Amino acid sequence: MSLIITAPNKEIKTFRSLPASKSLSNRALIIRALCEERFKIRNLSTSDDTEVLKPALNNLSTEIIDIGAAGTAMRFLTAFLSQIPGERILTGGERMKQRPIHELVNILRELGAKIEYIENEGYPPLKITGSNLKAKPISIKGNISSQYISALIMIAPYLEGEFNLTIEDKILSKDYIRMTIKLMHGFGVECEWIGNNIKVNKGIYKPKEIIIEADWSSASYWFEIVSLSENSMIELTGLKKDSLQGDSVLTDIFKEIGVDSAFTNFGLRIKNIPTICTFFEYDFTDCPDLAQTLAVTLVAKNIPFKLTGLDNLSIKETDRIKALVVEFEKLGIHIQSEANYTISWLGNEKIQVPENHIVETYEDHRMALAFAPLCIITKQLKIKNPEVVSKSYPDYWDHLKDAGFNIQ
């Protein structure tokens, strides 16, 4: 299946409700499942990742749990199920079976978890037999996945003894770890992060109703649209100034590349302003999910760039660095990929859309989400497998229609 998207023939001025944050939703679901008393979660995400995690937690008698392409669900459930009585098979789609999980499994085994690999050593599917885990000083590499760390510290209050985790090397996606800790604090658990050490006291989560924030990652595509559209203005409802999400750094990132931001009573108003940036350089270590959006925006605006801190993009839904290089190559843009997880561009080329060109999405929602606004520059764009956006932003194409884009 493919989709043809055509840019609006008028100025874009609209209100837009954003999907709820799947990162916050999934953490809240794990905390609720661990809590002795259920509590209400309002505005829960409808993304694929959340939609597979929710029934898995609601029906723990299931012997086989298939989470499809939901990486967050795989990491969180691996830790969660390891200390829940019963035996279960945790599996996923073909790409999930290629995404390593041995670092998390090894640490859980140190704590007493009974986890076996069913097919390939170090990769899902997993056979998990729940057991009583005992806390002890452990260490983990910080340059693999922050979701491993979040998965461990969320179950930590329920382990026997005091939990001490030392993070070695460079720490990626720190803001997602901070998000987890702030959420844990909100539910009454003491968790302390000093330097490279995280300590979690034994305790229980206290029930309380929570309202999930709108998703800042999803907001990034509207920032991209506004940056590429003269005289555009969009009100994004549900975004909070004091957000738990690290991607709220968007307001600072886009300030020099054509987007002014102002918080209102309803959320955030963004509008197009002159671009003053002539060379863009940014370290995405703490917000890797924004990298594709910025890469496409900068190429569209012909701004040379150097994007660093892309260490874990190769182990996402696809190898995102490779996917960006390949798809831009088809458009006559030569992105340089360097060994130190850096991509750069000289800005001396213009986009050329060949006849019958189609953007491959590689089963990665962010490839479709980030490339779609490029039609503002190319006038029209064809995107393969557009349904992948359901992983994080199920209503994306309908929302673009509402804003004046033509979708076929």
Task: Give the model's pLDDT for residue 5.
Answer: 97
Retrieve residue 243's tokens: 């957000």
Q: Average pLDDT, stretch 338-365?
A: 89
User: Residue 309: is its pLDDT beyond 90?
Assistant: no
Q: 323-346: per-residue pLDDT in tens?
A: 888 999 999 999 998 877 889 999
User: Residue 183: is its pLDDT beyond 80?
Assistant: yes
What is the pLDDT of the chain when averaged over all its residues? 93
Question: Is 336 in contact with 344 (CB distance < 8 Å)?
Answer: yes
Retrieve residue 287's tokens: 């917000």
Task: Give the model's pLDDT for residue 338.
Answer: 82
User: Residue 314: is its pLDDT beyond 70?
Assistant: no
The beta strand positions in 238-352, using DSSP E, are 259-263, 267-272, 280-283, 305-308, 336-338, 342-345
SS3 78: helix
Q: 290-305: per-residue pLDDT in tens?
A: 999 999 999 999 999 9
Burial readout 194-212 (b: 16 or more C-beta within 10 A, e: otherwise): eeeebbbeeeebebeebeb
Domains in the chain and their CATH numbers? 2-19+214-407 (3.65.10.10), 22-211 (3.65.10.10)
Q: Average pLDDT, stretch 11-22?
A: 94
User: Residue 202: is its pLDDT beyond 60?
Assistant: yes
Is-catalytic flag, 289?
yes
Tell me the pLDDT band of 146, cut-offs 50, 70 and 90. confident
Q: Average pLDDT, stretch 155-184?
A: 92
Task: Give the model's pLDDT for residue 116.
Answer: 97
Cα–Cα distance for residue pair 102/2, rounded to 1 Å: 36
Q: 17-58: per-residue pLDDT in tens?
A: 999 999 999 999 999 999 989 999 999 999 989 999 999 999
Cα–Cα distance for residue pair 187/181, rounded to 1 Å: 10
Query: pTM for the whole thing?
Result: 0.90
Share of the chain above pLDDT 70, in %: 98
Q: 364-374: per-residue pLDDT in tens?
A: 999 999 999 99
Q: Which of 48, 247, 289, 364 is catalytic?
A: 289
Task: Give the model's pLDDT for residue 318.
Answer: 63
Task: Give the model's pLDDT for residue 313.
Answer: 62
- Which of 39-43, 179-183, 226-230, 238-242 has the weakest average pLDDT? 238-242
Task: Give the model's pLDDT for residue 359.
Answer: 94
State the residue for tokens 């998000």: 179
CB atoms within 10 A of CB 251: 19
User: Residue 315: is its pLDDT beyond 60?
Assistant: no
